[in-house]
Chains A and B, each alone.
Chain A
Amino acid sequence: MSDQAAAVASDATERCAIGISFGNSNSSIAFTSPDGKPEVIANEDGDRHIPSIISYVDGDEYHGTQAKSQIVRHPTDTVAYFRDFLGKEFKSIDPTPCHQSAHPQQHESTISFTVQEGTEGEKSTLTVSEVTTRHLRRLKNSASEYVGKEVNAAVITVPTNFTDAQRSALMEAAKGAGIEVLQFIHEPVAAVVAYDARPEAVVTDKLVVVADLGGTRSDVTVIASRGGMYTILATAHDYELGGAQLDQVLIDHFAKEFIKKHKIDPREEARSLAKLKLEAEATKKALSIGTNASLSIESLANGIDFTSNVNRLRYELLSSKVFGSFTDLIKQAVQKAELDLLDIDEIILCGGTSHTPKIARLVQSLFPETTNVLAPATSPTAIHPSDVAVRGAAIQASLIEEFEMADIEQSTHPMVTVTAHLAKAIGVQLISSDESNCIFKPLLNTETALPARRSAQYPAPKDGGDVLIRICEGTREIKVKKVEPKPKAEDEDDDEDDDDDEEDEEEEVREIAWNVSKPIAEFAIRDVKPQGKIEVMVSVNEHLAVQVTAREIGGKGGVRGAVEPPQVVENGA
Chain B
Amino acid sequence: MIESGDGKGSKPSSYERIVLKNASEYYYLKIHLEFEEVGISLNAFEFKQLIISALKQLHGEVGAALPVDVLSYEEKNLFAILRVPITGLVKLWSALTLLDTYQNRKCAFRVIQTSPFLLALAGNSRELVLD
Partners in one complex: no
| Chain B interface residues (CB < 8 Å from chain A) | none
